[in-house]
Amino acid sequence: MKTNTVIAAVAASLMVGATFAQDEAASETVPATTDSSKSVKSSHSFSTLPFCRLVEQPAEVKKPNGEWIQAEEGRFYPLGTSYRTHQGGKLVLSFGATSSATIEGESAFSTRLQPINGSSRTIVLAYGTVSLSLADNLPEGAFFVTAPGFTVRNPAGDSRFSYETTPNGDRAVVRCVTGSLALSGRHFDIQSMRAADEVVITSEHDYLVTILEGTSGDYVVKLDQGVRTGVEVDEAGGVKNVVTKDALDWHLSPKTKVVINRAVPSIGERMAVHTMAFDAAGELQSDRVFCEGRAEINSGELVVKAASSDELAKRAAEAAETTEEAAVEEPASEGGGAESSSEVSSDE
For residues 98 and 41, which has the higher predicted lDDT (pLDDT)? 98
Residue type, position 246, single letter: D
Banded model confidence at residue 24, pLDDT cuts 50, 70, 90: very low
Name beta bridge partners: 125.
109
Banded model confidence at residue 347, pLDDT cuts 50, 70, 90: very low
Which pLDDT belongs to residue 128?
A: 98
Q: Which helix (H) or strand (E) holds 226?
A: strand 219-233
Structural domains present in the chain: 2-228 (2.60.120.1440), 312-339 (no CATH)
Q: Can you tell me the mean pLDDT for 38-63? A: 81
Work out the percent of the chain whose per-residue pLDDT is above 70.
75
Work out the percent of the chain whose per-residue pLDDT is above 90.
61
Res. 346: pLDDT tops 90: no
Give pLDDT tens digits for 262-320: 998 887 789 999 999 999 999 999 999 999 999 999 999 999 876 555 665 666 566 55
Give pLDDT tens digits for 59-110: 999 999 999 999 999 999 999 999 999 999 999 999 998 999 999 999 999 9
Peptide bond into 58 cis (omega under 30): yes
Which pLDDT belongs to residue 238?
A: 79
For residues 17 and 217, which has the higher predicted lDDT (pLDDT)? 217
Res. 230: pLDDT tops 90: no
Q: Can you tell me the mean pLDDT for 233-241? A: 79
Q: Quick one: which of 82, 97, 92 has its CA closest to 47?
A: 97
Cα–Cα distance for residue pair 50/128, rounded to 1 Å: 20
Which pLDDT belongs to residue 211?
A: 98
Res. 340: pLDDT tops 60: no
Q: Return the HEC string of 228-279.
A: EEEEEECCCCCEEEEEEEEEEEEEECCCCEEEEEEECCCCCCCCEEEEEEEC
Which pLDDT belongs to residue 319?
A: 59
Return the sign of the alpha-carbon dihedral for residues 12, 15, 21, 24.
negative
Which pLDDT belongs to residue 11?
A: 43
Q: How far is CA 200 from CA 81, 172, 191, 211, in A?
A: 27, 6, 16, 8
CB 139 within 8 A of CB 161: no
Name beta bridge partners: 96.
99
> What pTM was computed for the model?
0.75
